[in-house]
Amino acid sequence: MRVKDKVVVVTGGASGIGRAMATRFVKEGARQVVISDINEQGLNAVAESIGARAIAADVSNESDVLDLIRTTESDYGQIDLLCNNAGIGIGGGPEVPNEAWEKIWQINVMAHVYATRAALPAMLARGDGYIVNTASAAGLLSQIGSAPYAVTKHAAVGYAEWLAITYGGRGIKVSVLCPQAVRTAMTAGNEGGVASVDGMMEPEELCDAVIEALGQETFLILPHKEVLTYIQRKTGDYDRWIGGMQRLQDRYTS
């Protein structure tokens, strides 16, 4: 897919990766970029600065997501590219309160379900559409120090895989974005953390990988190329990989 002349929706567009992708899509000549975020003030500022449309929404609320999709379709016609990008991080393990588990599950996973539930019927009716779900390298590997993040990002990857398998033969393209550390509000103060073992990437740099993947219509978007090697090592010898991750954990938590 080329973004030029397309209608694009990006959630989590007020900052970080979402803002960078929306900005890049505008530069690539998209006919209309619609950005959404719960941070209405930040959302409006970004929309004004790049010439996008702002529609405030809490992606953990299905009615908000449905309104985002329906308003976009009503005002601009078909949605060519849907980027489910909004996400949060929560540290900890089994002791994390149920409310926090539920919150991260709703935003990192169910928001993808809500958006595709709303947008897929029109895409399937015309036999064309592209969905990019932002997950993380943690969804392919794991996240030391955060069970909720690792679990929900694994689920996000699994959902994207299912979409690609189920609807690929009906004209729907699917990609999943799985970076390591990117310089955003989520990673602020963690420049030396485990996720940045291969360096901290700027959001604008990540967008190069997104545009390239869209052009080639590849499923995995890996801005940090090292991740592919890590996946291969994991699947090649799971026990050895677990041992290596245990040593990595000791290095960063001792």
Q: How far apart are CA 78 and CA 9, in angstroms?
A: 11
Catalytic residue, chosen from 76, 114, 130, 149, is 149
With beta carbons less than 8 A apart as the criterion, state whether 114 and 67 touch. no
Task: Find the Cα–Cα–Cα–Cα dihedral 192, 20, 27, 33, rounded to 10°.
Answer: 160
149 catalytic residue (yes or no): yes
Task: Find the Cα–Cα–Cα–Cα dihedral 13, 133, 59, 22, rounded to 10°.
Answer: 10
Q: Considering only CA atoms, which of 133, 140, 162, 144 is closest in space to residue 254?
A: 144
Q: Pairing state of beta strands 220-221 and 129-134?
A: unpaired
Backbone angles phi, psi at 230, to 5 degrees: -65, -40
Positions annotated as catalytic residues are 149
